[in-house]
Chain A
Amino acid sequence: MTGAADRDAELVARYLAGDTSAFDSLMRAHQDRVFGICLRVLRDREAALDATQETFITVFRKADRFSGHSAFSTWLYRVAVNTCHDSIRRSRRHATEPLPEWNDPGDPRSGDAIAAADLRPTVETALSSLPEEFRAAVILSDLEGLSLQMVADALDVPLGTVKSRVFRGRRLLAGLLGNPEGLHDPQIGEHHA
């Protein structure tokens, strides 16, 4: 494991032994990245703060199950992603949102570039409209800078699946941002696990 992973493992051990300063160190070391993941996934600051808190509560309550065979951060990010997805599912049960306007994008052949641009979503909006599994992979890889192997560990899927999800997620994102080619997914990379 890396130096950071070793340090995390040591902090977890100290926390389990009753050293509450280790709790504070672990939180400070990872809180921003966990919040970043949650904010990107949920797109709501308060919900992201809640999810961040819930993630850490879950992880610390189950810290005795941390084996140390994989990085603490990987486990933490997995819990964060799952917590966010749970939050989204709960929200969907309680709210029905209208389809965004850009779900019906301007016809690029119309030549009305201004009208098409007005309907184009922001990067954040486009990112949020990616399929859940693509979005998580893109966020962890391209926004949080995790290695593909770490993303695979965090999402608990094979490395090839992560490669495919990141590739196709970017492709779809580009499509949502105005490149119509990206909206046609030829299932590239599904086989290259």
Chain B
Amino acid sequence: MHSHDPDLIAAVAEQAIGGAIGGAAAAELTACPRCSAELELQRSALDALRSLPAAAMTPAEAAGVRAGVAAALGIAPAVDPAPRRSKARWTAVTAAAALAGMLAFVPVLGLFSGGDDAAPPAMDATAFESKEGTVVSADDGGPVDPASLPENADYPADAVPPGGAGDLTAPPEGVIAAGVPPEALVGNASLAELLAAGPEDAAWTMEAPTRVALQCADAAEYALGPDFIALNAPAFLDDGREVVVYLGGDWSALVALDPADCSTALRLP
């Protein structure tokens, strides 16, 4: 007698018992009202769960995650010919690009790589320019329609995205480079336009904290207050350490925290 045996009910609900034995077990449970009710609960839950669509990353999301892990570990990942990023990531890198642009006007601070040994990212010079203290941008300075980019290609065919390949143990040139693919800039307005848009523009909104930002969420809230917003993009000090960058609500101040101990690594101005 299997009266109200949860293992048996679960097995029958899962159809884990086949053939005559399974049929006999189901019949036995059906003969017991309480068992039958339990079986129905299990089956309805399983049916509901099986109705859920599969959860999968898009190729671009997967490539972004792999690149992020590789960056954190200081290893060079393979370059993925991934599609464009989602809107949420797009707004994040837009803000990162804007931050980089803002810092382009701030002289000699710790976030600049500056050193001769900092290898500049290899870029397709016909499509992008990379200047120390600034960021890569469209060579004509104007917006480029994302639809004009090759299908399923994040990067120009012979370009290596900043942070996407190469030696990530060395800090990338510029302020924020790793994790900011070129299309984030060419698909949006020019830097001047981004800066002019300011914090009121919806594109500045951060939709989710980054991993390292979460590590310092409490410290940042305590030290900086609620007006500072964490940027959802990797940033590095010139010694290669990843930092969490916060922008002040009035977009006039910047603080970078070291996620190792959430201490202030840099404050601008």
Contacts and interface: CB of A to CB of B under 8 A. Distances in A.
B66 A123 contact: no
Interface stretch (A65-73, A99-107, A150-158, A176-184): A176-184
A179 B40 contact: yes
A39 interface: yes
A87 B208 CA distance: 12
A50 B49 CA distance: 24
Interface string A34-57: 011001100011111110111011
B41 A35 contact: no
Would you call the interface of chain B mostly helix, strand, loop, or mixed? helix
A179 B44 contact: yes
Contacts of A46: 88-89, 207-208
Contact of B55 (A36, A60, A90, A138): A36
Interface stretch (B101-109, B140-148, B211-219, B261-269): B211-219
Interface stretch (A6-14, A74-82, A111-119, A166-174): A166-174
B6 A163 contact: yes
A124 B62 contact: no
Contacts of B75: 20, 23
Given A27-B66, A164-B6, A174 B207 contact: no
Interface of A: 20-21, 23-24, 27-28, 31-32, 35-36, 39-40, 44-50, 52-54, 56-57, 60-61, 87, 90, 93-94, 123-124, 126-127, 138, 142-143, 163-164, 166-167, 169-171, 173-175, 177, 179, 181-182, 188-189, 192
Interface of B: 4, 6-7, 9-10, 13, 37-38, 40-42, 44-46, 48-52, 54-57, 61-62, 64-66, 68-70, 72-73, 75-78, 86, 88-89, 207-211, 214, 217-218, 221
